[in-house]
Chain A
Amino acid sequence: MSQAERTAQDIGEVVLEAVDVVKTYGATRALKGVGFSIHRGQVTTLFGENGAGKSTLMKILSGVEQPTSGTILLHGEPVAFTDTVDARERGISIIHQELSLAPNLSVRDNIFLGREITGPSGVDYAEEARQTKAVLDELGEDIDPMTKVADLRLGQQQLIEIARALSVDARILIMDEPTSALSATEVEVLFTVIHDLTARGVSIVYISHHLEEALEITDHAVVLRDGTVTATAVSADIDLPWVVRAMVGEGFDLGSPPTGYEFGEVALSVQGVSVPDAEIHGRNVVDRLDLEVRQGEIVCLYGLMGAGRTELLEAVAGRNPISEGRILKDGRDLAGLSIAQRIDAGLGLVPEDRQRDGLVQTMTVGRNMSLASIGSFVKGFFLSGRREADLVTDSIRSVHVKTAGGGAMIGSLSGGNQQKVVIGKMLATDPDVILLDEPSRGIDIGAKAEVFRLLAERARQGLAVVYTTSEVGECLSIAHRIVVLSRGRIAAEFGADTTKEAIMAASGEAVIS
């Protein structure tokens, strides 16, 4: 469409360029001589799996880290950024995937944090509020500058982060997974903003695991694999299969529903369950919902943000109370059981936010892995070290975690491998029903495929699997059945043979061209 026309017109002047950049951490070579250029007023997307070196490259371009060797050219001049402040002063801003906002402060205070406008009588709050309002209007977001950030939805918080970068008048804006928490409408808003920015000559570097979305917005595609650039192209010449091929080096799909066996009995039965909204009294985020999942069946819950997916799964797992209805597992009513008791009963949840809810950062890979099933290797009064070590070794192998061993700190793993630890932890409790909230969020396509393969394998052995996703493509992978949620109710159900268009239409999502 319009991007295609634009790229056809001109390639654009190169504003920032990395030439033969090498970055080593000890013996690990994260970048092996990377060349990368950013064009004025255009969007350059960096594709690559976790660990391919995308983040390292972005850290170097934004002054977080210095290259081991190689040159950075800003407008053709070699530069060396001492830190992020230095880079920002030269017009390069980075928006990190994880939000860096102060939730206790207002939107206005967050946007001007660290560079407050001062007047003769201290901070000029009125001016700050005015500018905040202006930049929010630019984003098409009607948010009061005095709203506390904690009161905003996650998607809105991300937009505040973007607003903050815009307000420092960035000429080059690096966005690392900016849409991972946004709803479809918010993504559209963001894309409109990106178009506006590029029209004003701002250059954008875009990183996303959401490949289709990225392809839609980008002018240039650069693919990194294993610290080397494997492909570069203008977006008019490429499509999704091309990107995937360049990223993983082979044809790739996320799997298909496991077949060749009969489903067993109904393992999980949700009957007329409502979950009250924590904030708005009298409103239900899940509204009299019915759902049955059989042994061996894989069900995908699809829906926009706020459709009630997370709330439903958390209620089933015992974290949130339900206001009406019943939840049965193998015919047994779970009412009144704690999370721990539900895990014992064979029902486990893999939470959405693995940093916040999934992992204990102060512990090792092994101890995270064994945390949920720890009761099973007590010998007398004490833990059996050997049984635990066996379990950890088995789990690491069965969920394919790439780690130096159970003794490594959890923080040393890449996102995809951390996610596998969270899943492995729950699988180690030997559940009959496993609920996974966005198991593929923020992990690369290789890891996604592995996670899905693993779940398909377990389903074949009789595990009932329920997972949520906000990427339509992931519904059409291993799920036998796709349940579309909208406003806490089931809007539609599909078999595995449906189309993306049908699912998106049912969810009430505007189909992005």
Chain B
Amino acid sequence: MTISERKPTMTTNATGQRRPALFSDGFDLGRLLLQGRAFFALIAIIVVFSVLSPNYLTVSNLLTMSSHVAVYAILAVGMLLVILNGGIDLSVGSTLGFSGVIAGFLMQGVPIGGVTLYPSLWVVVVLSCGMGAFIGLINGVLVARFRVAPFVATLGMLYVVRGVGLLMTNGLTYNNLAGDPALGNTGFDWLGFNRLFGLPIGVLVMIIVGIVVSLLLNRTVFGRWLYASGGNERAAELSGVPVKRVKVRVYVLSGLFAAIAGLILSSELTSASPTAGNSYELTAIAAVVIGGAALSGGIGNVRGTLLGAFVIGFLSDGLVIIGVSSYWQTVFTGAVIVLAVLLNSVQYTGKPRRSGGGRSDDQSTPTTPSPTSDAQAPAGAVPEKTRG
């Protein structure tokens, strides 16, 4: 009765066969390591670099690295929403840069008729975020209403948005974002430089975004709709889930978060370059994937994504600190991403196969010794016996 009647295809079976041998006996340890892989990777990174450099594990360095991470992490949380939906948003890097450009443009004053208007800071922030959300809306409408493949729609927006940013600035950078007390538009650097409760504002924003999105995913109808439509859009639609509305919203949120990240980045740099955030979308995707989300949709969470962003950020900053060349940094980052995807595929092809005999794994553990380093050896021998 507990055995599933689902008939797997032959190929998944061939691999499914070995899985219990790999994980059933070293199950507790193996599964723990697999599920918490982003966390353990982060611990390992911190330990290794702390040994290699005395400057790594200091409060000030951790905070500096965290504010680097914050920009990627906020992007990645938006990306997570899109990926949970089974889509992808390649335009976030451009949106991030464009958001800074909009802010810079408004800070320089907007000439209307004969007068130049200097909008106050909150107006700048709201308009920049609104522009990010609007770019997301275009993505969402293209994908949901006009059924353009997400990859293509957002790739197009990547170019369009970047191009518009370059046009607006003529390729130049806005350097004066400090504002003028006389004009009442100061405070832009607050985002990038100030601290509250000892934490950089960017990190706080990241924490808030993380908590809000976490609540959104786990405690609201929208979150459930998102998981359902990402897992099986047809079934979700037939269950009354407004799948198109959900889809549009995730792109809007992704654009919004990209704009917030853009404001933080330009504030930290006190300059807004139209080329800022180039290829950041790829880092964001990598963070989501390292965090255990499935690119096919329906699986993933905020905690994993944040850990993924920290893994990437702490790794590349660590390599800088110990003086590894930037070429090697690229290689390491790539290797981590590939490893993460590899482990994802182990986890997700393993799960449905095992779900049939889900209980079996638990029950088989008492007969074997507690998972030690050599527990894998007898475990591997079992299937050989049954086969021979």
Contacts and interface: CB of A to CB of B under 8 A. Distances in A.
Interface string A29-62: 0100000000000000000001101011000000
A424 to B, nearest CB: 12
Interface string B10-27: 100110010000000000
Interface residues of A, number: 64
Interface in B81-113: none
A73 interface: no
Interface string A408-440: 110111110000000001000100000000000
Interface residues of B, number: 53
Contact of B9 (A100, A176, A409): A100
A371 B5 contact: no
A83 B14 contact: yes
A342 to B, nearest CB: 8
B31 interface: no
B240 interface: yes
A184 interface: no
Contacts of A360: 227-228, 231-232, 235-236, 298
A358 B235 CA distance: 5
Contacts of B356: 25, 411-412
B241 interface: yes
A378 to B, nearest CB: 6
Interface string B218-232: 011100110110111
B121 to A, nearest CB: 29
Interface in B231-280: 231-232, 234-242
Interface string A188-205: 000000000000000000
Interface stretch (A234-242, A361-369, A473-481): A361-369
B361 A26 contact: yes
Interface string B158-194: 0000000000000000000000000000000000000
Contacts of B240: 339-340, 343-344, 372, 429
A383 B234 contact: no
A65 B13 CA distance: 8
A229 to B, nearest CB: 17
A409 B357 CA distance: 11
Contacts of B361: 26
Given A27-B360, A83-B17, A362-B230, A382 B238 contact: no
Interface string A382-411: 110100000000000000001010001101
A363 B231 contact: yes
B2 A28 contact: yes
Nearest to A30: B3
Residue of B3, B6, B357, B388 with most partner-chain A CB within 10 A: B3
Interface in A48-87: 50-51, 53, 55-56, 64-68, 80, 82-84
A387 to B, nearest CB: 12
Contacts of B8: 64
B364 A26 contact: yes
B227 A363 contact: yes
Contacts of B297: 362
B109 to A, nearest CB: 39
Nearest to A359: B235
Contact of A351 (B13, B238, B386): B238
A375 B387 CA distance: 51
A323 interface: no
B371 interface: no
A362 B231 contact: yes
A414 B238 contact: no
Interface in A171-215: 176
A68 B382 CA distance: 11
A68 B215 CA distance: 46
A411 B348 CA distance: 13
Interface string A229-269: 00000000000000000000000000000000000000000
23 contacts: A25-B356, A28-B360, A51-B2, A51-B3, A51-B5, A80-B388, A82-B387, A84-B10, A96-B7, A97-B7, A319-B237, A349-B238, A356-B235, A359-B232, A362-B227, A362-B232, A382-B220, A383-B220, A411-B352, A414-B1, A414-B5, A425-B239, A429-B240
Given A25-B2, A98-B9, A360-B236, 4 more contacts: A27-B359, A28-B2, A362-B227, A404-B359
